[in-house]
A and B are shown apart, each in its own frame.
Chain A
Amino acid sequence: MDFLKKIFGSGNDGSRDKAKDRLKIVLIHDRTDISPQLLDSLRDEIVGVLTKYMEIDTDKIEIDLDHDEHEVALVANVPVLRIKRGKIDVDKN
């Protein structure tokens, strides 16, 4: 069969399915594309929330959108120095 397919070309092996898959992935990425400004303000707000509960190393925070083949994830790496105990210091900042 494969041999015949090679000679005559095959109907189901066309480029349409490939195009469909690629289009889907391109759009997943486009739709979750985030501007650097938006990412910065997201980072600031996350830091704001986290510092109520813990002391973090603000210089070493990494926040990014991680794109792989089929999905997009928000990945944050936040080094924690110390968890705050007792009363939450809400008024800080």
Chain B
Amino acid sequence: MARVIVTTSGKGGVGKTTSTANIAAALARFGKKVVAVDADVGLRNLDVIMGLENRVVYNFIDVIEKTCKLNQALVKDKRVPGLYLLPAAQTRTKDAVNPEQMVALCEELKPEFDFILLDCPAGIEGGFKNAAAGAEEALVVTTPEIPAVRDADRIIGMLESMGKSPIRLIINRLRPNMVQDGDMLAKEDILDVLSIDLIGVIPEDENVIRSANIGEPMTMSLDSPAAHAYLNIAERLLGRDVPLMDLESYATRTFISKIKKFFKGSKKR
């Protein structure tokens, strides 16, 4: 029976879809059977981030409305065994589903998988409530900025009152050098006010954009700070005790690799 985990945030654009795709791919690489469900009806994105957009035929609303069978809507990722995508409908609105239908969908998926990851839309309205309804656990994504942390606090309150547990925090787009310079909220500052468990810190990383461009989650192949951080989160979800990455040393490493690149570039010229 699968564990059902919703990825939420409150504030938009903080990295829910990126997190869902990378954690899903990482869990599959660790041998788990995983389905990433795009619960962002009307604004579908997960298919593109995972690089599976050309293989989408049906979506989960078709399954709910019995236009197709569940197996027909599931897109199997050919790069990593055990990884699947259940796409959202792009031309429908959030009202096309209700929480009971989401719960039923998750129940249908549960016996087939080890993990069901739900990529939730931003906001606290219908779309969020639908996605959260089917889940038992939650990941809350925030960035080290006041508006994102504030919205995360709101979402955590709602998830708690819905009885989700555990609810764990992902801090995304942290810039260790800015924290060192006293110009960015540190993970301690955020944990101090939110008082929930941290499951990982993802550094700001250009590879997030690169991987979105080519449609391949970083955890599939790329060796980058963010890929590493997402692999760690997947391991922690599996109950392993993995220490937090030393982001500072990564910062210097990126700096050194930048210098190397600079010299490589100047040689070519």
Q: Mark B111-125, 1 if CB is under 8 A from A, else 0.
A: 000000000000000
Q: How large is the interface on A (under 10, 10 to 19, 20 to 34, 35 or more residues)?
A: 10 to 19
Whether the pair A16, B189 counts as a contact (CB closer than 8 A) is yes
How many A-B pairs fall under 8 Å by CB? 44
Main secondary structure, interface of A, reads helix
- Counting CB contacts under 8 A, is A13 at the interface? yes
Complex interface: chain A residues within 8 A of B185 (CB): 16, 19-20, 23
Q: Mark A10-25, 1 if CB is under 8 A from B, else 0.
A: 0111111101101110
Q: Which residue on chain B has the smallest CB distance to residue A17? A: B182
Docked CA distance A2–B154 (Å): 40
Whether the pair B150, A26 counts as a contact (CB closer than 8 A) is yes
Q: Which residue on chain B has the smallest CB distance to residue A22? A: B146
Complex interface: chain A residues within 8 A of B189 (CB): 16, 19-20, 23
Shortest beta-carbon distance from B220 to chain A in Å: 35
Docked CA distance A22–B145 (Å): 11
Complex interface: chain B residues within 8 A of A30 (CB): 150, 153-154
Docked CA distance A17–B183 (Å): 8
**Can you list 11 residue pairs at the A/B interface with Cβ under 8 Å?**
A16-B182, A16-B184, A19-B184, A20-B185, A20-B192, A23-B150, A23-B185, A23-B189, A26-B146, A26-B150, A30-B150
